[in-house]
Structure 1
Amino acid sequence: MNALWQDYRSPGFFDEVFDDSGTPRRAAQSLVRHLGEFNNEELDNRRMAADLSIKSMGITFTVYSEAGMIDRAWPFDVLPRTISRREWDRVREGLQQRVAALNLFIADLYGKQQIIKDGVFPREVLAQSVNFRPECVGIRPPGDIWAHICGSDLVRDGAGDFYVLEDNLRVPSGVSYMVENRLVSKRVFPELFAQTDILPVDDYPSELLDSLNALSPRQDVTPNVALLTPGVFNSAFFEHVWLAGQMGAELVQGSDLYVDRDDCVYSRTIFGPQRVDVIYRRVDDAFIDPEAFRADSMLGTPGLMRAWRAGNVAIANAPGAGVADDKVVYAFVPQIIRYYLDQDAKLPNVPSWLCMEEKQRDHVLANLDSLVVKPANESGGYGMLIGPRSTADERDQFAQLIRRNPRNYIAQPTLALSTAPTLIENTARPRHVDLRPFIVSRPGDDAYVTMGGLTRVALREGSLVVNSSQGGGSKDTWIVEDED
């Protein structure tokens, strides 16, 4: 082997590519063997080819700072993460089970609330939910599916077992980077794709479009699908443009739409008004309709909720789906699966302590230096306390926050997140990773799960924060077909 793999070790952590003895895992054998033949110049050439591809393809993300908005090239590591097909099939089944139960749960909360009446889910958790929308009570979207698109974050522990870290059910993002990572990888390592049976991810836009089309209230005509974006100042605008282009959907802002007296939605076009059947919205609930929610919203369309309630337009994800996108609700998902499906969870949760429970809160407050504390509804890695890396002042501040609003916080152990080899100055170094696969639910059919997902990597040595806005990057994820 060359210097790339020389002395590579990840002691104390499960590594995605090498086992404890330094032997490549079966799904990674072709990758390790092939890259081991590269000299430093060849590695440099492949890395520069990736950088050039990202720039030429215009793959960017937006960071908000005091200086304003900054568009940056997407941080990409050329060394892919590999997972065997056999292992992924088990993960896929667990994700399908989880999303099926969550959709039943959301439908129940906006219906009879039987899970609360039966004492399985606490009424006070729902009462203090910032994402429960009373305006949605009594509404039944097609197939009782509320969360059409879900991005569940997965991690491995030191033993290599997958756990669900959180579920993203409001406006999950990142799928464009998953597909673009694959396109970059194919340009950088074309010979590996010729030699290795790597399962595709580029079918996601067509799967998503098929699922959106199935929601249309007008099945006798070709549905008109629109992607509703907050606009160019949104950090995920690159993805909005990319998805609309890939699906052939119309990219619209709230002001491009209007609702007529018959409660139908129309788009303003150069050819005149055009009926809109399905809206894939990337705008938060509170801003989609100033009539129903925030009157000061400039991002939504007045009357949109009226049209949805009347069944004249489908919205994905459905308004109100975010009630299950709550880290306190997350702690109850195993019970939710058992209640609605009469099954044990195939993918476990990370052990969690609810600060709203007195005994659990006391445990958290006594162990802040060793736990990760998360607010219920923040995302992007913001608002967290990572106990082992915190200061005494930070722990005191979080203790006050927890005592002031215990419903808003959960705590989890500091996990020994798995690592994957990452190219640092032409040498592979272990960096912590997570994984966000995407699940698309459709009426009357099994949910579609991507073959892999967006692997995010903490590029800073020892860091557990993988978000690109906080110094993280990403990798291509290869689900490799098992050999007989």
Structure 2
Amino acid sequence: MNKKKNVLIDETFFDEYLSTQGGIRKDLKKSYKFFQNLKPSKRRSLQAQSEDAISTMGITFQLYKGGIIDRAWPLDIIPRIINHSKWIKVELGLKQRIKALNLFIDDVYNQQRFLKLNPVLKDLVLDSSNFLPECKGIHPKNKIWSNICGTDLIRDHNGKFLVLEDNLRVPSGVAYMLENRNVMKKVIPEIFDGYDVNPIDDYPSQLFKCLSDSAFTTKKVKKIVLLTPGIFNSAYFEHSHLAQQMGIEIVEPHDLYVSSSKNVLMRTINGPKKVDVIYRRVDDIYIDPIAWRSDSAIGIPGIYEAWKKKKVSIVNAPGSGVADDKAVYAFVPKMIEFFLNEKPIISQVKTYVCAFKKDCKFVLNNIEKLVIKPVNESGGYGILIGPKASKNDIKKYQQKIRNNPRNFVAQPLIKLSTSPTLIGNKMEPRHLDLRPFILSGKKIFVTSGGLTRVAMKKNSTIVNSSQGGGSKDTWIIH
């Protein structure tokens, strides 16, 4: 361990600000010295000002702990800075990846060429709860199923970006990316001086364009709405923020209905209005109680038939979650080669799929060295971190794997990169990841950076806000 003022550097991790020799990385000197030279009381004051701004601006998220709890969004004021020269490859890799994933989903619900070449994957996919047989034979506009994707990236001990997972169903977090920048500009505008930081405020207009591109109608002006389960949903702040920024209506299920001609209509005080595109923030199996969950209280009866008949576009398309599976993730490099005839531009984490007997045996014999994940969980839940687990927890998890190997994958414990983070009035390293957002319409758009999530607890790698994680403003600089 090297000590440099208030920052401790663990040489086994890649620190994004400091080298293993303790020197400040070239592009980050100004930002680092700005915070390093502040008096502890001033650091506390700036952090408090950011928290006040977040409270005043109403930036919240919800937790479910014996009831619904509104929490102020956690933002660390030391920015994460990435040079554009390093970001170019990431952006190209993400565009390549989402192209292949969309082609894969379309293939799953149609010809199944890729599945026929990979019989184990075929069994995994067709047995998955994310596979919706009702979607067979359907092609969304331009064969794009996941128009909006949030891909989680990490940096390994060498600083190399790796894909950790793809969120293809209802990815969230982009509103917090936008608001992090607004808070930083409001509280510490001087920190931007001397940096050429890529703007991110074009995201709402890019999202609107993406949604418009998904419409089946040829009308020049499309009627687009954002469908939310309601104000008690954990991501409602984001729903209302995005709808407002795009200038579209935010609707709840009772605001929409399907006519006898299979058009989707919105109830208004001036009579029903035809809807062309629905940006859904409702899980697909709840969206239509006739087609899927009959007990759904947040569905619109008949909307599946309207979508199937191309009377309305639903973004992301129902069934897109079939590729949002940690077991399917292991096959993405093969998908890129099969569908695009290209080599993957961006690497991903080595993944052992327990549905394979060889992989399962390896995982059971090496579980104390691996991270084990249930394939359909999210938010960091259900994960076993082998090197930190007790012998009793390992035994229990081994039995879970034996009982249902298809439900688990394993990965080596990647040494996530760290970045200086304000803990009290001190700068200390904390682990982080990054979620860029990828929009697929007539063109593919990747956000400049994304939402950086930080594990605020020392030595923790759990970055999810629902489990005590924080966030940072992410800068792509020239």
Shorter-chain TM-score tier: over 0.9
**Where does structure 2 lack aligned partners over 5 or more consecutive residues?**
none
Counterpart of 1:466 in structure 2 is 463
Deviation per CA, 1:387-409: give whole Å up to 9, x if none.
12212222122112111111110
Deviation per CA, 1:258-283: give whole Å up to 9, x if none.
00011100111122111111000011
Counterpart of 2:476 in structure 1 is 479
Deviation per CA, 1:16-65: give whole Å up to 9, x if none.
11122222223312212333332223222211110111100111111111
Deviation of the 1:422 alpha carbon: 0.4
Quote the Cα distance in structure 2 between the aligned partners of 1:285 and 1:171: 9
Aligned ranges 1:282-361 → 2 under 5 Å: 282-361=281-360
Counterpart of 1:41 in structure 2 is 41
Counterpart of 1:23 in structure 2 is 23
Deviation of the 1:440 alpha carbon: 0.3
**Where does structure 1 lack aligned partners over 5 or more consecutive residues?**
none
Quote the Cα distance in structure 2 between the aligned partners of 1:274 and 1:221: 16
Quote the Cα distance in structure 1 between the aligned partners of 2:187 and 2:23: 25
Deviation of the 1:127 alpha carbon: 2.1
CA contact (8 A) 2:7 2:428 kept: no
What is the total number of aligned residue pairs between the two structures? 476
CA contact (8 A) 2:121 2:328 kept: no
- Shift of the 58–187 alpha-carbon distance from structure 1 to 2, 3 Å rule, reads same
- Shift of the 7–433 alpha-carbon distance from structure 1 to 2, 3 Å rule, reads closer
CA contact (8 A) 2:435 2:452 kept: yes
Quote the Cα distance in structure 2 between the aligned partners of 1:4 and 1:280: 48
Query: Structure 1 segments of 4 or more deviating over 4 A?
Result: none
Aligned with 2:452 (options 448, 452, 455): 455
Counterpart of 1:127 in structure 2 is 126
Counterpart of 1:9 in structure 2 is 9
Quote the Cα distance in structure 1 between the aligned partners of 2:427 and 2:11: 14
The residue identity in structure 1 corresponding to 2:453 is: R
Deviation per CA, 1:227-262: give whole Å up to 9, x if none.
111112211111111111111111111111000011
Aligned ranges 1:402-421 → 2 under 5 Å: 402-421=401-420
The residue identity in structure 2 corresponding to 1:291 is: I
Quote the Cα distance in structure 2 between the aligned partners of 1:339 and 1:218: 32
Counterpart of 2:84 in structure 1 is 85
Percentage identity across paired residues of the two chains: 50
Deviation of the 1:120 alpha carbon: 7.5
Deviation of the 1:458 alpha carbon: 0.4
SS in 2 for 1:456: strand
1:435 maps to 2:423: no
TM-score under structure 1 normalisation?
0.96
Quote the Cα distance in structure 2 between the aligned partners of 1:242 and 1:85: 28
Deviation of the 1:5 alpha carbon: 4.5
Quote the Cα distance in structure 2 between the aligned partners of 1:8 and 1:258: 58
Counterpart of 2:272 in structure 1 is 273
CA contact (8 A) 2:120 2:355 kept: no
Counterpart of 1:112 in structure 2 is 111
Quote the Cα distance in structure 1 between the aligned partners of 2:415 and 2:218: 49
Quote the Cα distance in structure 2 between the aligned partners of 1:5 and 1:58: 35
RMSD: 1.4
Quote the Cα distance in structure 2 between the aligned partners of 1:470 and 1:61: 12
Quote the Cα distance in structure 2 between the aligned partners of 1:145 and 1:218: 16
- Shift of the 302–5 alpha-carbon distance from structure 1 to 2, 3 Å rule, reads farther
TM-score under structure 2 normalisation?
0.97
SS in 2 for 1:216: coil
